[in-house]
Structure 1
Amino acid sequence: MGANQTDRIELALKPDLADAEAHWLAFWEHEIIDRPLCAIRSPKDGVAGVAGPPYMAGRAGDYRAVAEQALAAAETIFWGGDAVPCYSPSFGPDLYAVWLGCELEFGDVERTSWAVPCVEDWLANSPIVLDPDNPWWRKTLAFCAVLAETFAGKMLVSHLDLHGNMDALLAMRGAVGLCMDLMDVPELIDQAMADVRATYATVDLAVREAGNMTAACGRIPVYHPERTNTIQCDFAALIGPEHFRRWALPALEEEAAHLGRCIMHYDGPEMLVHLDDVLAVPEITCIQWQPGAGNKPFIEWMDLLKRIQAAGKAVYVPCNTTNIRVYHRELDPALVYYQCGAPTQQAAEEALAWLKRNT
């Protein structure tokens, strides 16, 4: 169910938000209005480009400066079609485990960060809880609040890259330790997963409140006037179906049910053994297939994209104004989300017009 007309937000950087919202609501219902869902961005006519903040900007606490830079960059972008202006804060991919007690370390060149494994014995670390006074948790909420204040009426704060479920256990224990624990102490993993799963709704809602996310953009930029985000379990690439169904799948089902509708990040061929289980989750509406390093390019996975669509799920398709025509010939337009880049505003507008003429 969408937002009422009286609740609908307005964004200065997206004057046609109502039209985009209509396309998004149709997408979530696997329906189509006049073209497939297409979020297309390009440089904005008549303005000089401004670089956005680098990855993990804000770690020093300079939230206002980062927010102002993100807004300045967004003002130079044409947010075409169903693209919604937004910015997702991040201190790195392992932040969930850091909120649950790990230390956070940054690389020398500040291109990434990681959680320092903090669990040697699950019993000694039980129960796993979210400490509201955890310094990185407080920083996360403060950052979101400053972004929301700076962006008010202009753009949205996107949700975070939440690696909960087994990904959080992976960061807390390390890959070798966790894989051994699945075999040696499965009952302790049952409890650890129950603890981590119990934090998800609290984390999600607290971040939404801090970022004033009355309308939602996911970490992968999907939009809904109420609630959505990206879910994932990258650790699933290391385990078989039995372990996946025992530990990962129930967590993903809970996360998806909490969100109501979501996109799942699905990374690499090793994950395909679990695909049928994932496709059976009702609230997982769309799959973002990521082929992974060293594998054939995205456009050569057309059979997989069609398999996902045949199961009634949408597919996320990164594309440009040229190859979007290839995908459009091959894929069901009601079950696709095009994330498209264009060299100019005119090219973006022409691509949208082409989709309408050819749908």
Structure 2
Amino acid sequence: MSFSLKPDYEQSFKRYEAFWEREVIDRPPVCILLPVEKPMEVPKKEYPSQQERWLDIDIRAEADAIRVRNYEYYADALPIVWPNMGPGIFSAWCGCGYHFGEDTAWSEPCIRDWSTDAPKVSFSEEHPLFKATVEYTKRLLELGKGNFIVGLTDFHPGGDHLAALRGAENLAVDLIEHPEEVKTQLKNTQDDFFHVYDFFYNMLKSAGMPITSWTPLIHDKRFYIPSNDFSCMISTEMFEEFFIPGIIEECRFYDRSIYHLDGPGAIRHLDSILSIKELDAVQWVPTAGQEGFAQWAHIYTKIQAAGKSVQLHTISVKELPLVFETLKPEGIWFSSITGINDRYTADEVLKRISAWK
């Protein structure tokens, strides 16, 4: 497997495989993006509406293919492009209304009454937004062949999908007033999701791609990022009763998985998440403005002590000594390190990480 934008792909792939196994070949994988000296101009076009802009698949794919060329993928950074249709696109395919904004999209709940609306919720391959996502993926695969990696879209299944179908506030009440309906719907929608995942997984594998998505991590078989941002609204007891069984089943479905733990409100569920033996790694994402290693060192050490691999997100160069003192290099992935602006600094950082034992 080779990509013109990543000539040393095979060596980086081995480092990521070692990350999954909580091992180290020569050093942990390190992502460093450096801008090219002469970036290409990304085409722009005016549209009457945001929906028309989002659904102009050819222009978007061509812009993606140009944008990915405006960086050097140093160390283990990967040239990844994925067909972004917004975080609720799977829910749209299952019946939710869907609205596109400037930078994101959001869904409109479609289950207003459990008895009359829930039976109507079902994934449809005939949904125009599903067809658009398929076309987007196909176009990226054409442009990416031999050049860059194409990933899966952002599905957001499980609890977040059900929160989209029902509305987060309504779902929080439903856990008390309609527990059986919630559990039944979670089971039904998970079956739909596994079907959808395999559809796009097979597209990527048939094109000779590794598997990746919005998190720039790779594996050669089934890989994804389980999550439940809705969990910030509920107790650990409810999280374990309603959502942990589905997350376990999801992790069993994948060959590799990294849980997306989003924000301080989700920390109370960390023990429950770490108890999932099928889960390989954890991605901790602090609230914006609270990035850095020092204040969250206890979270990272807890994850590593539980035998899970760890994604280090937005760690600064100045914090590297504390990282070395606190953690072990096995099972660590530096997905971004702030304070690196040139090759010299990048090389010095790589030397320091390579010497970490």
Same fold (TM over 0.5): yes
Structure 1 unaligned segments of length 5 or more: list them: 1-8
Counterpart check, 1:88 vs 2:82: yes
Amino acid at match of 1:308: I
2:33 match: 41
Within 5 A, what are the aligned runs for 1:1-359? 9-44=1-36, 46-48=37-39, 59-107=53-101, 110-127=102-119, 128-211=121-204, 212=207, 214-293=209-288, 297-318=292-313, 319-341=315-337, 342-359=340-357
Q: Is the Cα–Cα contact under 8 Å of residues 78 and 345 in structure 1 kept in the other structure? A: no
How far apart are residue 132 of structure 1 and its match? 1.0
How far apart are residue 240 of structure 1 and its match? 1.5
Amino acid at match of 1:147: L
How far apart are residue 344 of structure 1 and its match? 1.9
Cα 1:50–1:353, aligned 2, differ >3 Å: closer, same or farther?
farther
Q: Is the Cα–Cα contact under 8 Å of residues 20 and 331 in structure 2 kept in the other structure? A: no
- In 2, the alpha carbon distance for the partners of 1:53 and 1:303 equals 45
Identical residues among aligned pairs (%): 29
- In 2, the alpha carbon distance for the partners of 1:123 and 1:95 equals 24
How far apart are residue 320 of structure 1 and its match? 4.1
How far apart are residue 57 of structure 1 and its match? 9.7
- In 1, the alpha carbon distance for the partners of 2:73 and 2:216 equals 12
Cα 1:154–1:312, aligned 2, differ >3 Å: closer, same or farther?
same
Q: Deviations over 1:91-127 (max 9, x none)?
A: 21111211110111123xx122210111111221333
- In 1, the alpha carbon distance for the partners of 2:242 and 2:24 equals 36
- In 2, the alpha carbon distance for the partners of 1:158 and 1:285 equals 20
- In 1, the alpha carbon distance for the partners of 2:100 and 2:69 equals 30
- In 2, the alpha carbon distance for the partners of 1:31 and 1:53 equals 44
Q: Is the Cα–Cα contact under 8 Å of residues 54 and 60 in structure 2 kept in the other structure? A: no
Q: Deviations over 1:73-95 (max 9, x none)?
A: 22231212222210122121111
- In 1, the alpha carbon distance for the partners of 2:280 and 2:133 equals 28
* Secondary structure class of the residue paired with 1:289: strand
Q: Is the Cα–Cα contact under 8 Å of residues 317 and 337 in structure 1 kept in the other structure? A: yes
Structure 2 unaligned segments of length 5 or more: list them: none
Q: Is the Cα–Cα contact under 8 Å of residues 210 and 218 in structure 2 kept in the other structure? A: yes
TM-score (norm 2): 0.90
Cα 1:210–1:64, aligned 2, differ >3 Å: closer, same or farther?
farther
How far apart are residue 323 of structure 1 and its match? 3.2
Q: Is the Cα–Cα contact under 8 Å of residues 241 and 274 in structure 1 kept in the other structure? A: yes
* Secondary structure class of the residue paired with 1:203: helix
Q: Aligned Cα RMSD in Å?
A: 2.4
How far apart are residue 253 of structure 1 and its match? 1.1
How far apart are residue 330 of structure 1 and its match? 2.2
Aligned length: 347
Q: Is the Cα–Cα contact under 8 Å of residues 261 and 285 in structure 1 kept in the other structure? A: yes
Q: Is the Cα–Cα contact under 8 Å of residues 162 and 231 in structure 1 kept in the other structure? A: no
How far apart are residue 133 of structure 1 and its match? 0.5
TM-score (norm 1): 0.89
- In 2, the alpha carbon distance for the partners of 1:19 and 1:296 equals 29
Q: Deviations over 1:60-81 (max 9, x none)?
A: 4322322222222222312122
Amino acid at match of 1:326: L
